[in-house]
Amino acid sequence: MKVLVIGLGGVTNGGKTTLAEKLKNMLPNCDIISQDDFFKPESEVETDERGFKLYDVLDALYMDEMVTSIRNWIKSPASSGVVKEEPQNTCDNMKNVYILIVEGFLLYNYEPLNELWNRRYFLTLPYEECKRRRSTRVYQPADTPGYFDGHVWPMYLKYKNELEENASMQVDYLDGTKSQEELLACVYSDIIQELNKLRE
């Protein structure tokens, strides 16, 4: 049994969840773990001096629990409830390969996760487009006025810079303004190459 762990990280509203879902539908034995499922309750998230809830930082997440969930999946993917149905175009030699897609906005800045990835992707968006998309979404709790500029975007830039300064980190950057079809085709073909390498 072989396991492939793919990270889909990057900017808020960059299309991570949509891309993960589409890949899951196209790949054999594929499962998704979403970082959004590991947010601490609002009462445990710090508030800064401006009254902004600091959600876009590692401390707002139960990261240890997330690492444990991923490790448990890697240990026994077959028992994770992953769908066994093979997509029509998949060959028999993929039967014992399991793929986990982990999607979230802060995947590569937490050291214990970094030994788990087979491939890392990072979706980017320009400021204006990100702000526009963010404004169309409803969050619980809702974004307060000035929250995007005061917290969300600065934290994205901070973590992205950390990533770019880490020379040992192999990351594929994806342009989130491209069509979902283009992004899907690009990542799907990469994953198929990785699967072929596993089989060799």
**Separation of first and last alpha carbons in the chain:** 14
DSSP 109: S
Residue 39 pairs with which residues in a beta bridge?
Answer: 61
Yes or no: say if 73 and 31 are a contact pair by the CB < 8 Å rule: yes
Q: How far is Cα 40 from Cα 90, in angstroms, rounded to an integer?
A: 39
Partner residues linked to 6 by β-bridges: 101, 119
Residues 161 and 88: their CA atoms lie apart, in Å, by 41
C-beta separation of 106 from 9 below 8 A: yes
Type of residue at 45: V
Catalytic-labelled residue, pool 36, 59, 149, 175: 36
> Is residue 149 among the annotated active site residues?
no
Region of 10 (left: φ > 0; alpha: ψ -120 to 50; beta: rest) is left
Q: Sign of torsion, CA 66 69 72 78?
A: negative
**Residues annotated catalytic, as ranges:** 36
